[in-house]
Structure 1
């Protein structure tokens, strides 16, 4: 039998290894929070927060702030992009807003309009207030959009 510590470790591992997709042609009005990876090829009007990797495909349009551990952007973002580790802007990326990241890769052709802070101290990403009994209580702290 598993004890409580093993159950919590297994639940945390399951949550962070999850994968989410918002397909092309899909529009979401509201904030997205996830512990796992997320790929967005559609449109999101709201903030996005993940403790893992965010991939914004070439057809993605985001109107809101982004907070993630790692990110790869091919689409368009209007808002603050805050990445605790590595941000990659692909050639088709268009970012209208400030970037705060530890490491930044800008490929030839990417467009970025805003200020950039690099090498910032690692920030802890909190999803909800806390995770109690495997359930997160969602509360998204809104960052100021550009």
Structure 2
């Protein structure tokens, strides 16, 4: 009765979808999405996505952003939570509060933010602890 084309998308398929905010576009308000974003325009508000957010040169997010990964070449001002890796290219300007799993900053990037690293503590199991004690 149902064809294969009516298949429901899984979360991994949906997160591959890309939303694009073109240059000259200004969005004011909250955005919740499953797919990633490429921001070439301006977003003023809160953005939450399970995907990756790319802010291109000329792009701006002013507000709160929560995402899986981020790659900034443009401007961000506000509260930023990146669950995995935040990459700042040489033209990036970030101001505000940042929480990230990993942070990569190219020379020339401006990073005027308080920063907290999360999820990077590795717990040692008993075998690792014994091995460490033997080598010490």
Say how many residue pairs are matched. 116
Residue of structure 2 in register with 1:63 after alignment: 62
Residue of structure 1 in register with 2:119 after alignment: 121
**Aligned-residue offset at 1:13:** 4.1
What TM-score do you get using the length of structure 1 for normalisation? Answer: 0.73
Q: Partners in 1 of 2:85 and 2:10 — Cα distance?
A: 26
Q: Partners in 1 of 2:76 and 2:111 — Cα distance?
A: 10
Which segments of 5 or more consecutive residues in structure 1 lack a partner in the other structure? Answer: 123-146
Q: C-alpha root-mean-square deviation of aligned residues, in Å?
A: 1.8
**Aligned-residue offset at 1:99:** 1.1
**Aligned-residue offset at 1:15:** 2.3
**Aligned-residue offset at 1:11:** 4.3
Q: Which runs of 4+ in 1 moved over 4 A?
A: none
Residue of structure 2 in register with 1:106 after alignment: 105
Which segments of 5 or more consecutive residues in structure 2 lack a partner in the other structure? Answer: 121-136
Higher strand share goes to which structure? 2
Give the number of the structure with larger relative contact order, counting CA–CA contacts within 8 Å between residues 6 or more apart. Answer: 1
